[in-house]
Chain A
Amino acid sequence: MIKRLKHFASVVGCAAAVALALSATALHAQEIKIGALFPLSGGLALLGDESLRGVQLAVEERNAAGGINGQKIVIVKADAVDANQAVGEARRLTSGDSVAAIFGSYASGIAVAATQVTELAGVPYFELGAVADTVTGRGLKYVFRSNSTAKNFADRSIESLTQVVAPALKVDPKALKIAIIYEDGPYGTLVGGFQKDEAKRLGLNVVESQSYSAKTVDLSSLILRVKSAGADIVLHTAYQNDAVLFFRQATAASYKPRAIIGAGGGYSLNDTAQAVGAPMEGVFDVDFPQITMNEAGAQGLKEFTAAYQKNFNMLPRSGHSLVNYVGAKAFLEILARAKSTDKDKIRETVLAYRQPPGSSAAGWGFQFGENGQNQLATTNLMQWQHGKLVTVYPAAVATAKPILSN
């Protein structure tokens, strides 16, 4: 009796397994899996999550409009807090989950590590937020990037100095003494290095250029150096804590340059402005486009903001969600146009994809170079005015005029 029961149970078990497998394949035909690889825990979690939100919104919008050629898009999340974990998670996505493509990754170190794996596995990698130029500069065929790079940050900050700040101060840019200071991690070193090159190319007068550890608790010596060099303009590439420290100690040393131009990171965050207080007023900042820019030069910005608020019950915490959304949206469209998950077909479609500047919610257009880099992605110049970060340059997306005293 017991034997028969066992036999019966195994038959039922087998049948159930077959049915499950069948239904899984049936489901599989109607959906397309994409990986989303971001730092979702650890120190980078805040902006990693903010970036992921952009991808989620783009996928949701695409799914509501019918997905990719009738297939529903499913996001497979991967948490990569550092380069090591990025490699492991990229392996899992490409082999275990067999995703059609991977979207990522906020931090450059993570992007560089993950793309090594995906390139070998032949899975396209769409970078939406990491800025290091090396991500697309290594000759990898299936790595594409929608966002602007460290070089854009550096060039825009120098351009802001020559085109916006110097004319407003009514001086020749070459007459201004410039200090370039930056944290000595990959991010600061890249931006600071490009700034030095560009300043040299234009024959600007750089009187001081210094890096420092972002984990320092004292910048007073650096400030004394910059102050004794008599710098009029400070170009500062920093994270959050060191930006706050710089302002606190500059105030203590009663040093006030004629203009400070920050580059991304800490300078764009409301928390930084709150922690710094009054000295933040009038400070410039070059960064990814933010939701406060002019709708006229950024089609669909209002819709993005509304969708974000509806989903997350708050305003975007930074511009990261916006640029990730814009990039993800474009790459999803590319996947649809490719009508295939074949990597070479996708590459061909990416390179053929063209959108004019101003056509996306970030104000960017799309045109990819042979290296997979979008050449129409830019950064904007913003300024803290009355406690708010407003866009002041370029004119197409500006919402306010730059304010400079004396």
Chain B
Amino acid sequence: MSLLLQLLVNGLLLGGAYAIISIGLTLIFGVVRIVNFAHGEFLMIGMYVVWLFAQHMGLHPYAAAPLVALLLFCLGALMQRAIIQPLLSADGHIQIFATVGVSTALLNLALMLFGADIRKVDAVFGTEPLSLGSLTYVSGQLITFVAALLIATALHLFLKHTYTGRAFRALSQNRVAAALMGVNVNAMYVLAFGMGTGLVGLAAGLISVQYPAFPTVGSYFVLTAFVIVVLGGMGSLPGAVIGSLFIGLIDSFAGYFVGPDLKEVVYFLVFLGILSIRPTGLFGLGRGSE
């Protein structure tokens, strides 16, 4: 029994880390309708910046997180304005090539600047193993989990109750109609893309306590994040959170009962199964959306 409970806790906490990365990805997809293949590399840049702050200014990753979020907001907004915006009316696959190109460029830039070594932040707070009865976990994982839920809730409220949030939702439903209603499409896109990458900056601060930075770290997380976003329904915020927890749980239980080498097979099977029943994902908007 305590074993099952431990697997449950491990799965949920892992899901928390996935959630915080997926939220930004789904926001960008939902509003700008772009699959950002450079999302993982933004995470990687964020983790390196966190490490630089820790190394040179002794800043704890949690303290650095807002700064990194701000920086990545600017980078993301810049990418939208300079690279994606000129391609908005082009074919979808041209935009995909553009984001893949940015991803490759950033990856190799990191290899050039930092080399292939791993860079680990030495933090005490967030790495202490804690136990509750027979359950064990790490404080940082719990913090990431709670932060993911808080951020998702805040974002949800923002989308529901502010003018900008309404504009985001209007854009995701119909870009042309939104423009006709007076929404400044380009400005909103820059803002949404920036927010999406800013969120991954927060994620970088939170997970840097647990995971070291290295050039390909983004690809470790982002493939799963893509699966989660599609599973939850592309562009759906609750879908991303539920999807993350779901994948985390499958990872944990399949890793124990089926085998660590086969856990990906299990979650891709579940993923395909769900998509064959609900092609738009768990919380997808259905076929009517753009």
Contact = CB atoms under 8 A, between A and B. Distances in A.
Interface of A: 41-46, 184, 210-213, 215-222, 224-225, 228, 240-241, 244-245, 248, 251-254, 271-272, 274-275, 277
B262 to A, nearest CB: 10
Interface of B: 3, 6-7, 10, 14, 17, 111, 115-118, 120, 122, 127, 129, 131, 136-138, 210-212, 214-217, 219-221, 224, 251-256, 259-261, 263-264
Contact of A213 (B136, B212, B216, B264): B264
B226 to A, nearest CB: 14
A271 B261 contact: no
Given A220-B10, A221-B263, A244 B136 contact: no
Q: B3, B116, B131 — which one has the most chain A CB atoms within 10 A of its CB? A: B116
30 contacts: A42-B111, A43-B116, A210-B260, A210-B261, A211-B260, A212-B260, A213-B264, A215-B219, A216-B260, A217-B14, A217-B211, A217-B220, A217-B224, A218-B14, A218-B252, A221-B10, A221-B253, A224-B3, A224-B256, A225-B260, A228-B3, A240-B118, A241-B212, A244-B120, A245-B211, A248-B127, A252-B136, A271-B117, A274-B120, A275-B120
B90 to A, nearest CB: 30
A254 B116 CA distance: 30
Contacts of B7: 221, 224
A46 B115 contact: yes
A145 B252 CA distance: 42
B118 A254 contact: no
Contacts of B224: 217
Nearest to A225: B256
Contact of A221 (B210, B214, B260): B260
A248 B259 CA distance: 20
A220 B14 contact: yes
Given A218-B14, A218-B255, 14 more contacts: A210-B260, A211-B260, A211-B261, A212-B260, A212-B261, A213-B264, A219-B260, A221-B254, A224-B7, A225-B256, A241-B212, A244-B118, A245-B211, A272-B118
B86 to A, nearest CB: 30
Nearest to A254: B136
B137 A222 contact: no
Contacts of B6: 224
A325 B16 CA distance: 48
A215 B255 contact: no
B255 A275 contact: no
Nearest to A184: B261
Nearest to A43: B116
A141 B6 CA distance: 55
A252 B260 contact: no
Contacts of A225: 256, 260
Q: A212, A213, A218, A248 — which one has the most chain B CB atoms within 10 A of its CB? A: A218
Query: Which 3 pairs of residues, A with B, have the shortest CB-CB distance?
Result: A221-B255, A275-B120, A212-B260
Contacts of B138: 248, 252
B64 to A, nearest CB: 18
A395 to B, nearest CB: 33
B118 A253 contact: no
Contacts of B116: 43-46
A250 to B, nearest CB: 10
Contacts of A41: 111
A217 to B, nearest CB: 5
B131 A254 contact: yes
A43 B253 CA distance: 32
Q: B7, B129, B131, B224 — which one has the most chain A CB atoms within 10 A of its CB? A: B129
A233 to B, nearest CB: 19
Contacts of A45: 111, 115-116
Contact of A251 (B129, B261, B263): B129
Nearest to B14: A218
A271 to B, nearest CB: 5
A215 B224 CA distance: 11
Nearest to B254: A221
A241 B252 contact: no
A213 B261 contact: yes
Given A45-B111, A213-B264, A254-B136, A222 B210 contact: no
